[in-house]
Chain A
Amino acid sequence: MSEKDIMIEAVDVNKEYRRAGAIIRALADVNLKIKSGEFAIIQGPTGCGKSTLLNVLSGLDLPDSGRIIFDGENIARSTEDRLSKLRRQKIGFVFQDFNLVRTLTAMENVESVLWPTVLRQKEIENRAVAALRDVDLLDRKDHFPVQMSGGEKQRCAIARAIIHRPRVILADEPSGNLDPQSEKDVMGLLKKINKEMETTVLVVTHRDLSAYGTKTIRMDGGKIISIK
């Protein structure tokens, strides 16, 4: 594996939390490499450190020690503005609770990623329409989140995550609030995006979704216990 192929790399990453006076070691000497175009599933029980790992890999949280190399750049000590730029250009987020703005329509929610950019409104609209078409939600573009089902909300969130054509999609329990059929649809959609757009996908879950991934990373007690 050449260095060029590696999209995200964690090197000797440690992270501790202090909760109610006790020190919790959320990540203990974590080393991980995610190749470009991979579909990686980080799986483990609640409290195993998988969400913390996602947070530090995306620059949302800083590790206590170690390095995070994201697309060739060490982001472990980057400034907040630099991290914002990185997220805007290279990362798409999918959340368990969808995190759609309830007062915006599906189309506007998807467009919101590009509002701070220099793109013209027409171009933003065209991209939003394309993203909604990719997730098969174009007929719902004028609906508000409250008018959509859980599966539709998550598809809308995925459209928001791909509108800027990111290199990586980070999904935190994307099917955590969904019924089995919607889970299948959403994971299938992420798989399709991974294949067709060659986007690296990283899914954090407590469920067994290994069937969708090209790599499954199992965690427990802040450590990686297996990579398959």
Chain B
Amino acid sequence: MWRKAILLSLREKKVFVVFTLIYTVLIFLTSFFIDLGFKGMFGDFVWNFVFIFLGTSLFLSMLYAWILVSRKRRIWATFKCIGYTNKNILSLVSGMIFFTTIVGFLIVIEMLFHYAAIVAYINQTAINIPLLILVDLVPVVITSLIFIGVQIIAFILAYRKVLKVRPIIALKKVGE
């Protein structure tokens, strides 16, 4: 089912791209501020930002879960008609949310690698650019783990909404 969740995510191009980009920005910003916090820069003030971004991530995950279940109620109802259980549908929904976060994480890692490589390359010459915004890998991994943990709340919300989708909806005429 996870592979099918990835397939469904990738086919929903607009929603997938928008949420992946938002996750990418959030993961980067949270990692960046966690990194600053670990290095003791700007005092405890940076942790406020970390909590704001984590709260935003929670809101975002719940919004994504709500969009996936509510906007696709007819699809999930049809799937229930053809024999899917609530757990089967939850696997698809949670797989779609999870995959989007993982892609956001991979994009951040990829960008940081490229950034470090470019700066290192330029530093071979006479020009010396300091690695101002290079975030360590540890804060990025910690951020991603926290983001995934936060999504459990979104999965619970999604499951509650999936339970409410009655298969009979699939038999109603469009617009009814």
- A55, CB-defined interface residue at 8 Å: yes
The minimal Cβ–Cβ distance linking B8 to chain A, given in whole angstroms, is 7
| Proximity bits, B54-79, A CB within 8 Å = 1, else 0 | 00000000000000000000110011
Question: B79: which A residues are within 8 A, CB to CB?
Answer: 112
Measured as residues with beta carbon below 8 angstroms from the partner, the interface class of chain B is: 20 to 34
Contact A104 B11 (CB under 8 A): yes
Complex Cα gap A26–B7 (Å):
41
By beta carbon, the residue of chain A nearest B175 is: A97
B interface footprint on A129-161 (CB within 8 Å = 1, 0 otherwise): 000000000000000000000000000000011
B82 interfacial contact with A, CB 8 Å: yes
Contact with B along A66-79 (1 / 0, CB 8 A): 00000000000000
The answer to whether A81 touches B85 (Cβ under 8 A) is yes
Across-interface contacts of B82 in A (CB, < 8 A): 87-88, 92-93, 112-113, 160-161
Given A55-B168, A99-B170, are A116 and B8 neighbors across the interface (CB < 8 Å)?
no
Write the nearest CB–CB distance from B163 to chain A, whole angstroms: 9
Q: How far is the CA of A103 from the CA of B88 in the complex (A)?
A: 19
Give A150 to B74 CA distance when docked, in angstroms: 18
Count residues on chain A whose CB falls below 8 Å from chain B CBs. Answer: 33
From B11, B74, B88, A99 is in contact (CB under 8 Å) with B74
Number of A-B contacts (CB under 8 A): 75
Contact between chains at B12 and A115 (CB < 8 Å): no
Name the CB-closest residue of B to A90.
Answer: B83
- A113 close to B83 (CB less than 8 A): yes
Question: How many whole Å from B22's CB to the nearest CB in chain A?
Answer: 21
Closest-CB distance, A121 to chain B (whole angstroms): 8
The minimal Cβ–Cβ distance linking B76 to chain A, given in whole angstroms, is 10
A212 close to chain B: CB less than 8 A:
no
Set of chain B residues within 8 Å of A164, measured between Cβ atoms? 83
With A51-B171, A95-B78 as contacts: A116 and B12 at CB distance below 8 Å: no
- B141 in the interface, Cβ–Cβ < 8 Å? no
CB distance from A157 to the nearest CB of B (A): 10
CB B6 to nearest CB in A, in angstroms, measures: 12
Within 27-84 of B, Cβ neighbours of A (below 8 Å) are at 74-75, 78-84
Asked if A97 and B11 sit within 8 Å, CB to CB, the answer is no
Say if the beta carbon of B104 comes within 8 Å of chain A: no
Determine whether A60 belongs to the interface, using a CB cutoff of 8 Å to chain B.
yes
The 23 listed contacts between A and B (C-beta, < 8 Å) are A55-B168, A60-B168, A80-B85, A84-B84, A84-B85, A85-B85, A87-B81, A88-B82, A88-B83, A91-B83, A92-B82, A93-B81, A93-B170, A95-B78, A96-B171, A96-B173, A101-B8, A103-B11, A103-B12, A112-B79, A116-B88, A161-B82, A164-B83
